[in-house]
Chains A and B, each alone.
Chain A
Amino acid sequence: MNADPRGVLTGSHFLDGDHAACEGALAAGARFAAGYPITPSTEVVERYAMRAPKVGGTFIQMEDELAASIAIQGAVWGGAKAFTVTSGPGFSLMMEHIGYAAMTETPCVFVDVQRGGPSTGLPTLPAQADMMQVRWGSHGDYEIIALCPNSPQECFDLMITAFNMSEKYRVPTFLMMDEVVGHMTEKVVIPSADQIYVEPRNFTAKEPAAFKAYEACGEECVPEMVMAGEGYNIHVTGLTHDERGYPNMTPPVQDTLLKRLVGKIRDNADKICLYEEADTEGADIVVVSYGITSRVAQRAIDLAHEQGIKVGKFRLITAWPFPEKKIAEIAGKVKALVVPELNMGQMVREVERCAGGKAKVLAVPHAGGSVHRPEDILKAIVEVAR
């Protein structure tokens, strides 16, 4: 279905990434947001607080991140599309409810504008150090979808994608920004509402007596949904549950449930994964990057081209699920993969795993607080090119 025009600020704008992400949420139909202030993410909900009352949305500033991350899930079961926003330390506090959203298959969006850590770390300065936390931070086995914009335009575009994927697969979905992308200001073009596709919630057409809240449905094995107040008498629990949603803590039920929860993402990874590649055909070296680092990497690639080095670019837009097949394919054709990240080495582990020894993998870590110098990435490219 098309976006509700009341939430779409069609036109060309000069926006920072945080504000663009807010506009993306409004365009995607988010009419509920709960937040707790934390730098450098707060501008997303500050704008939402300004805009929401004029488009039929509700914003509430909760007492902490735990509250914000579960209030949005209550709102989802009340029928709304909902999101919350945070940064590293707040993200740590939200982890329990990321597990709850995964287990209860509550479609909702989390925005993490990453800053340096660990702990309070660097409140106003960038990092990409929550990439493993978003994947593994809550306990137990589950899958999520995480997207990494590298510009304010993508903060807008990918926010809509995040909402759409969240609805389609009924998983918590993440916009993994960083402080630089959040605070950089660039041109953002917002199309008209009829040019924006919004995935509708897959409400069931079954009668209450015939409806099982957690029965696998469709080719993606994602159950149909209902909302509270419609007479379905649903039971939603974070406990291991059967198709009816009833707690059942036996190994066979756990086995069936977990296989479906991880399977709906793993089995559809090829449909979910978004990436950008350039000059990878015939390349000796490929730089794998994401978020703000991909823009620094582009400068390093250009400098390497000037030196005659055959280097290509692979940008992760979807970090999770990780594009395993694509990385394995590239690794089979090149000498080396160079992986700059604003952390001490997180996604590079995935690259190494998928490369499986077929190509050399060289990390270019950075502790955060600023971005890489292009020369540091160039140096790594030159080193592996020898």
Chain B
Amino acid sequence: MTTVQIENENPVQPFLRMDRMPHIWCPGCGIGTTVNCFTRALIESKADLSKVAVVSGIGCTGRVAGYVNLDSFHTTHGRAIPFATGLKLANPKLNVVVYSGDGDLFAIGGNHLIHAARRNVDLKVICVNNLIYAMTGGQTAPTTPGAVITSTSPYGTYDPSFNIPHLVEAAGAVYVARWTTFHVRQLAKSMNEMFQKKGFGFIEVLSPCPTLYQRRNKMGDGLDAMKFYKEHSKVKHGCPTSEVSLTKAGEIIVGKFVDRERPEYSDLMHAHLREQLGEAYVEAEQVEMEHTLCS
């Protein structure tokens, strides 16, 4: 007779601050799904978890930092990337993951994002795109497609929206992909692939917001969003990012769009300064924690 071993513990549980559960995300929200994929990617990557730091901005996705059992920083609105830049440059041994929402990264934080991509700082950016400002009550975001009802566009949006992968590629990212929370295996695999790559990597994850986006637009609940993603998504690896714009009810192009090589910022800095200064160049030393007792 074969004995079936049943695991009582979810394998991602050690990655979470269980003493903070339950989390604040709404039923049907996709952020938790992305965190599940993130933890599976970390397992797969075999990364030294003590060297992984998560930096978030503000909003629903900004709360990810508070739930992962890693060194985590919940910063100010839009400023996760410059915080992460300082963290990475001061402590290059760290694997720094910026985990934030579309409003945080592309509205208030848009300037920082394009400049970090330009520099090709070794940051891994996971952008959960729910097409709306969720935590503040469902206002229009720079990613909200046309003709969508939000609390600040009661007659529907008419602001043209950002095509995020196109912007990030143009700014200089070396890895750009898009998935939805329906594509859990592909997303986890893509995250791991991004973790292995040095430089500014970026993954957009389309994620449902049943409470604010779908309810106002009569688009059903979380399950309906999954059905929508399943029916409307089309995998097109290598698709030119200029062709991956999103609309309210149209096709969702997913896949890995960009995977290229550019000199990473720290490497560039070291090489340049070494060339210019020769032996006078002193590369920054890693700070070691001095274990001293509190006086």
Q: Which residues of A contact B (CB under 8 A)?
A: 6, 31-32, 34, 53-58, 60, 62-64, 66-68, 70-80, 82, 96-97, 100, 200-205, 217-218, 224, 226-239, 246-247
Contact = CB atoms under 8 A, between A and B. Distances in A.
B94 A78 contact: yes
B293 interface: yes
Interface in B66-112: 66, 69-76, 78-79, 82-91, 93-94, 111-112
Contacts of A97: 76, 79
B74 A58 contact: no
A53 B87 contact: no
A228 B53 contact: yes
B58 to A, nearest CB: 8
A139 to B, nearest CB: 12
Contacts of A96: 76
Given A73-B86, A246-B19, 10 more contacts: A31-B287, A32-B86, A54-B277, A66-B82, A74-B73, A97-B79, A200-B292, A236-B74, A246-B66, A247-B66
Contacts of B293: 205
Interface residues of B, number: 53
B246 to A, nearest CB: 27
Closest 6 CB pairs of A and B: A74-B86, A79-B287, A78-B90, A78-B91, A71-B86, A74-B87
A53 B277 contact: yes
Contact of B87 (A6, A204, A228, A238): A228
B230 interface: no
A236 B289 contact: no
B83 A235 contact: no
Contact of B76 (A32, A233, A238): A238
A238 B94 contact: no
B185 interface: no
Most B C-beta atoms less than 10 A away, residue of A100, A203, A247: A203
A67 B282 contact: no
A53 B289 contact: no
Contacts of B83: 70-71, 73-74
Most B C-beta atoms less than 10 A away, residue of A6, A200, A205: A205
A158 B207 CA distance: 51
A58 to B, nearest CB: 5
Nearest to A72: B86
Contacts of A72: 86
A238 B75 contact: yes
B18 to A, nearest CB: 12
B282 A55 contact: yes
A168 to B, nearest CB: 10
28 contacts: A32-B86, A54-B277, A54-B281, A55-B282, A58-B89, A60-B85, A66-B112, A67-B111, A70-B79, A71-B86, A74-B87, A78-B87, A78-B89, A78-B91, A78-B287, A79-B91, A79-B289, A201-B290, A202-B295, A203-B292, A205-B292, A227-B91, A228-B71, A229-B50, A230-B50, A231-B50, A233-B50, A236-B72
A56 B90 CA distance: 11
A87 B85 CA distance: 23
Given A224-B294, A227-B91, A70 B86 contact: yes
Most B C-beta atoms less than 10 A away, residue of A72, A227, A228: A228
A310 to B, nearest CB: 44
Given A71-B83, A75-B87, A200-B292, A64 B111 contact: yes
